[in-house]
Structure 1
């Protein structure tokens, strides 16, 4: 602490070019400033100031040392601000971009709103690749790998796809046992909104089942209509496990050909890298990481 006091005396004197002005700023005598700087010069083994009766000026070594000291005090101020933020209640608008399938995350997002009522969620649902920083998002949830070095990232959880149908549908059309059996079924397909292509169904062993090999009863660019149709017995759908977990538990959907599908993915949350992570972003990241996949994992 004595060293920091000497550094502070040096910075004040260097910026004011006066021991007297520095003493008034720090509330000590000019002689105390002079002694503190003299001890600092003795310890460093260099002269920091050229002294005269009216003014003091920095030596080249003093000018270099002043820049380093400014950085030190800037880091201390930054640390104090971070600690102050951890004590403040998270609040304010939080802009979040989610994929279209993110509508299925609404129970978790609703729970977050109840837990942090002072945070206003501004949700944007899109499957396009957004520029987190340039478009002003506080956080983005996406699948796949993170590639932007300007962003921090945290894994929220992994998911796999399941073939599901309603009990009434299977009672009428039979239960498929292998991929080839799907040729006799009504298939409800997901279409990528970014390019209009139908999502292939990937089976163990690396085999794809393209759209042309599957009788397609309906397509949708979002998951919710497929869930609606499959629950009403209109066909078989290939959906993320977190979207159908509760419905399988409730018995409104049945999973078939378990272990045959090989498609899986990972959800990540990304946010701008910053030394001062806003409390609203910190609690959102922690909450989503803890709760988003908790129900699917723990039942």
Structure 2
């Protein structure tokens, strides 16, 4: 293994906090990874990693070396691409909420691979907030307002939202005409996997956003189960328009309280510091920005 490959392996071990995970990511035998790092430490004359039974962590010297490796690897990748006149290549790991992936990203992927045939996407779907560095993810597409973090966020679009119920639900409980009517209604609650909390119903009333709680006989964590529970008449709920557009057209769901709709929610792509982004990751993020602008 040459020096650059050794640097790549070291960077992945630090980011994943694990020899085993890094070896799996890079398809390198676990024993080889240990030998490479031992050789690096011997050459540099410093201890790069603190090893324990649970986790591997960079020492102070190891953190400095990690930062230099990031910079060097980024420069090498960019220089090679510039002089060879080649398109970006390699693996991009992205995490995305499933409904967003299926509606916005997946339909456009054939065009992406036509333009960038040497990029491989490893796409995971989930509603929890992944730790990009610890889990070896290059970028994540997230729906909703973001908590403060050291990650960089680029807003891709804003999604209109609606309050909906099924015809069977409205036949049984009646159609709410105002916020005060919701005290007599039921809701389907969507619980965040990350926080464990459910999101209250929210409405734009003039210049203010009003929130209210309704009795929720069921709480779910999956967006498809959330929509299905509403279609089954269990309660009302709020969705991005794209998620229920077909059901509204087919009459499976009906919009209620259209004069006081929920506030729009952003879709963003989050990633680590700009100066360490590889050309392939930058290319993918720029492509994401374009497809959401087109949409």
CA offset at residue 106 of structure 1?
Answer: 1.4
Residues 98 and 123 of structure 1 are in contact (CA less than 8 Å); yes or no, is this contact kept in structure 2?
Answer: yes
The aligned counterpart of 1:194 is 194
Distance in 2 (CA, whole Å) between partners of 1:268 and 1:123 is: 16
C-alpha change, 1:248 and 1:84, in structure 2 (3 Å) is farther
Bigger CA drift: 174-183 or 129-138?
Answer: 129-138
Residues 238 and 262 of structure 2 are in contact (CA less than 8 Å); yes or no, is this contact kept in structure 1?
Answer: no
The aligned counterpart of 1:181 is 181
The aligned counterpart of 1:144 is 145
CA offset at residue 114 of structure 1?
Answer: 1.8
Distance in 2 (CA, whole Å) between partners of 1:285 and 1:250 is: 35
C-alpha change, 1:115 and 1:280, in structure 2 (3 Å) is farther
Secondary structure of the structure 1 residue equivalent to 2:196: coil
The aligned counterpart of 1:93 is 91
What runs of 5+ residues in structure 1 fail to find an aligned partner? 1-75
The aligned counterpart of 2:273 is 273
Distance in 1 (CA, whole Å) between partners of 2:108 and 2:83 is: 23
CA offset at residue 189 of structure 1?
Answer: 1.2
Distance in 2 (CA, whole Å) between partners of 1:124 and 1:187 is: 30
CA offset at residue 239 of structure 1?
Answer: 1.8
C-alpha change, 1:294 and 1:246, in structure 2 (3 Å) is farther
CA offset at residue 237 of structure 1?
Answer: 1.4
The aligned counterpart of 1:288 is 288
C-alpha change, 1:168 and 1:145, in structure 2 (3 Å) is closer
Query: Mapping of 1:136-285 within 5 angstroms?
Result: 136-142=136-142, 143-145=144-146, 147-149=148-150, 151-203=151-203, 204=205, 205-210=208-213, 214-275=214-275, 277-285=277-285
C-alpha change, 1:152 and 1:207, in structure 2 (3 Å) is closer
Distance in 2 (CA, whole Å) between partners of 1:287 and 1:259 is: 36
What is the TM-score when the length of structure 2 is the normalising length?
A: 0.60
Query: Mapping of 1:23-62 within 5 angstroms?
Result: none
| 1:106 and 2:102 matched | yes
Secondary structure of the structure 1 residue equivalent to 2:94: strand
The aligned counterpart of 1:59 is none
Residues 78 and 279 of structure 2 are in contact (CA less than 8 Å); yes or no, is this contact kept in structure 1?
Answer: no
Bigger CA drift: 286-295 or 258-267?
Answer: 286-295
1:187-218 CA-to-partner distances (Å, cap 9, x unmatched) read 211112223322111233443213xxx12232
CA offset at residue 294 of structure 1?
Answer: 5.2
CA offset at residue 223 of structure 1?
Answer: 1.4
Residues 242 and 293 of structure 1 are in contact (CA less than 8 Å); yes or no, is this contact kept in structure 2?
Answer: no
RMSD: 3.3
The aligned counterpart of 2:23 is none
Distance in 2 (CA, whole Å) between partners of 1:200 and 1:146 is: 17
Distance in 1 (CA, whole Å) between partners of 2:90 and 2:230 is: 39
Distance in 1 (CA, whole Å) between partners of 2:147 and 2:200 is: 23
Larger radius of gyration between Structure 1 and Structure 2: 1
Secondary structure of the structure 1 residue equivalent to 2:255: strand
CA offset at residue 167 of structure 1?
Answer: 3.3
Q: How many residues align?
A: 214
